[in-house]
Structure 1
Amino acid sequence: MASTTTTTFLILSFSLLLLLSVTAASPLLEAANILSAAGYECMALQLELASQTLQSHHSLTIFAPSDAAFEHHHHHPSLHLLRYHLLPHAFSLHSLTSLPFGASIPTLLPSHSLTVTTTNPHSISINNVSLNTTPIFQHPNLTIFSAHTFFNPHFHFQHQNPTPPPNPATCPPPLKTPLSHASHLLHSRNFSVVAAVLNLQFPAPCTGRELTLFAPPDNAITHLNLTELVPLLHRHLVPCKIAWRDLAALQDGTLIGTYERGFAINVTNTNTLLLNGVHVTFPEMYRGDWLVVHGVNHMLSGTHHGKRHPTHRAKKNDSYRVSVEEEQDGGDQESSSGFEDHRHREGEENSPHHYHFSAFH
């Protein structure tokens, strides 16, 4: 009996230690998953391997060299070098760009710091290595920046005044894409978490795709685990454009399909427009050729079933077309469309207050 009790205790103790080790490694593993999804396979692999030996940190900044930088590196990057690319605190883009020229930033490599060498307000440079000004991922506990190459741990900073930037008139304006413009607006109005996830999911312009994003503020979602943020985005993303005037005209009980299979947004439109009980606080925060962003004051939760409405077709000048769920004796059937079905069609008409959206998958 005593032997059985001892064996059980040892098994439970081992299981607890294993669970704790996995939990401790999870921030790096989550970062590895994010980098892999963004196309930084080599850095993702390095973090997976390092997660077994590196001490866990609640907050991290990661500078990720591209796969091309790994290919041109003469030797396999060591754990020593990897530590030099990790900071024990999550620096936001604003925090990093606010640091003065010559500022030292402690890293996870003992007695080794990075040095801010930025001389141009439109760029970021660390140890004379350029960084991408759009983070790969940004969250209160984790920020990931793309670096053009590896930082040199033996970098020696010369204390001198930075060279004045060239005349702004001679500098070409930075290239702005609709997604980067929307992301900038989201960051500036405290919707930075959803902006980071949007950049991760759609790193390139979504040619041919029309989207509407209902963006919850940072204070409503910062408690979420990193792995919960992508599913969150899917519940707030609709695969067609819905301008504010059309959204405000929707009939009470209308269902709007989202990227989350089985999750619909229920419109309540009596005295105030509500989406699953949530207010729209920033109508048309951004509106472009293929993307509309509306700010909401909380996460959208719960799947609702609204009223059924007769089928109507979209006007040719509307920015979206919808399909309608129809009542049948044997139950409900849900029609679905791909992105290629959302184009304007000549001669089709619709009454806005009868729109009824189905999920598109």
Structure 2
Amino acid sequence: MAANFLISLILFSLLSFSSFSLSDNSISKAVEIVSNSGFVSLALTLEFGSKNLIPHSEYLTIFTPSNSSFSSSGQRSLSLLKFHFSPQSLTPQFLKSLPFNSKIPTLSPPHTLLVTSPPSRCDQDTISLNGVKVNVGSMIYDDGWLRIFGIEKFFDPNFGASPRPNLDCVASPRDDDEEEDDDDGSMSFDAAIEEMKDKGYSIMASFLEMQLGMIKEPALLTVFAPPDEKMEGYFRNFTDYSVVFLRHVVPCLMPWPVLIRLDYPTTVPTFLEGYKITVSLRQDKEALLVNKVVIVEDVYADDWLAVLGIGDVLPAMPAPEPKPSSQRRRSVVNAAVLKALVGFSFLVMFELSLDLSIFS
């Protein structure tokens, strides 16, 4: 409680310099609701702020970590605390509508929050800001101008400048004491397949089940899954199934939190020999692309498998140019020889004309 009280005083000092105001009724209601929701540190801040907490303004949005996050992280700097306050009216609908890489102003200029959520194909209860999950499905408090959202941990103001992660593209050794997914020690796709089917990626889920099934050796995989409506009617014969599936599977672990921090463009191989994918930032910087196809949602992730929904089937490799026949090669060679002979003859005639002009 002592740690919470100290943090509360720090937050109070922050808010007392703000230009906002809350009525006594608003304060009492916010304190009660926020405290009952497990955000005691913020509740104490609002309570101790009293009438001088926030004088006058239109809107304020607060993103607050849980009470345990405050306690475990110790005393936070004033600039970091300001980073969790935005002088805007940020409703859940507005936050969910913001495209990838959008900026949200904070009370700690020039720092802004970056939207790091993929452009989802359906409504979500959470979004991502600076790589941190924000629960927008149910706000902690909302009285029309003050809105409070819960987040899983503190935001990192240096998110964009943080060291880039190294892609993990090797086998992941399993600890002998680690609990196996199945009795025979194999790794199951069941959870991923169920999630893929629920979100409209049933065809790729079936491929995952049929072609990879159960792998006995530890592996790292990422599946870029096109939606069912893009896959239906795409195949002409049986061999297409394997080719299409393999070019969408990468032998690396590339979940969404890793993708949003890569140096773009980043190119990695796939399970289809000779086919590579390149992750890049779209020209308007509002979406991530894989081989120029938009990544639309984060479908599933665990310690060894990531599934990302994409907007369309990845384009096939361009067909190799046909090699010239022996007759065509001879024709090309003959043409080159003839051109060389003509050039040589012209040079000889030119030198001969110079010699004749001298003697004349």
Pick the structure with greater CA Rg: 2
- Shorter-chain TM range is 0.3 to 0.5
Q: Return the structure number with greater helix share.
A: 2
Taking structure 1 as the reference length, what is the TM-score of the superposition? 0.35
Taking structure 2 as the reference length, what is the TM-score of the superposition? 0.35
